[in-house]
Amino acid sequence: AQTVTQSQPEMSVQEAETVTLSCTYDTSESDYYLFWYKQPPSRQMILVIRQEAYKQQNATENRFSVNFQKAAKSFSLKISDSQLGDAAMYFCAYRSGRVTDKLIFGTGTRLQVFP
Amino acid sequence: NAGVTQTPKFRVLKTGQSMTLLCAQDMNHEYMYWYRQDPGMGLRLIHYSVGEGTTAKGEVPDGYNVSRLKKQNFLLGLESAAPSQTSVYFCASSRFGLAGISYEQYFGPGTRLTVT
């Protein structure tokens, strides 16, 4: 079975600085997708960024980028120029390449942003 | 578009009571999911559906039943609520994903359920 591990329960960063959130996963599949979701205090789950395993290039979305190390099964999220609105829970998630499309989530990292 | 909506937003039940959570999506998505979120455990899949009239078990299905009679609705039922079912419940939906294509799951705002 696939598992997703986020070993940092909490992280903090100063406004305008850069922070990296870690995620590792375990799978025997070669076709899969990885995601980072943001959950602010409103509880709404918001997709931040996604990575297809077959793509070697790391995904980027504005201030958010990933470091995808397929051999090491590592998928970290880098947030540049942190803003107060980035404060939230961040969840790493895995989806098999099979059609059923189920997401497996990590336990989350709470990010605090200080002015 | 309202996206994914959930009813109710909050509910308190006594042990043994039953209730149904309603999820509705207006994006014509084929797939729908129910997750529960507990402190320190992330989201876990309860049941899911790949189309109208079909349902399947997820990671933590015990104590729950689901139905998908209409494509836009996915109901989660608790027949006899237990304190262990105190949680935040999220519904999500996504387009049909062929192999090699992954579509985003859109989440509802969640339902906070407390069982006393």
Tens-place pLDDT, residues B44-100:
999 999 899 999 999 999 999 999 999 999 999 999 999 999 999 999 998 876 655
- Residue A105 is which amino acid? F
Contact B42 A43 (CB under 8 A): no
Q: Give dist(CA A18, CA A4) in Å, integer.
A: 23
Give residue-wise pLDDT tens across range A21-76. 999 999 998 889 999 999 999 889 999 999 999 888 999 999 999 999 999 999 99
Question: Which residues does A64 contact at the CB level (< 8 Å), separation at least 6?
Answer: A36, A48, A49, A77, A78, A79, A80
Kindly indicate the confidence band of residue A101, based on its pLDDT and cuts at 50, 70 and 90. Answer: low
Chain length of chain B: 116
* Averaged pLDDT of chain B: 92
- For residues A4-21, b (16+ Cβ closer than 10 Å) or e, as one string? bebeeeebebeeeeebeb
Average pLDDT for B29-54? 92
A57: its two tokens: 């290039």
Residue of B nearest to A98 (CA): B99
Residue B2 confidence (pLDDT) = 78
Q: Give dist(CA B54, CA B109) in Å, integer.
A: 24
How close is the nearest chain A Cα to the Cα of B104, in Å? 8
B31 touches chain A (CB under 8 A): yes
State percent of chain B over pLDDT 70: 94
How close is the nearest chain B Cα to the Cα of A54, in Å? 9
Residue B57 confidence (pLDDT) = 94
How close is the nearest chain A Cα to the Cα of B100, in Å? 6
B22 touches chain A (CB under 8 A): no
A9 vs B contacts (CB less than 8 Å):
40
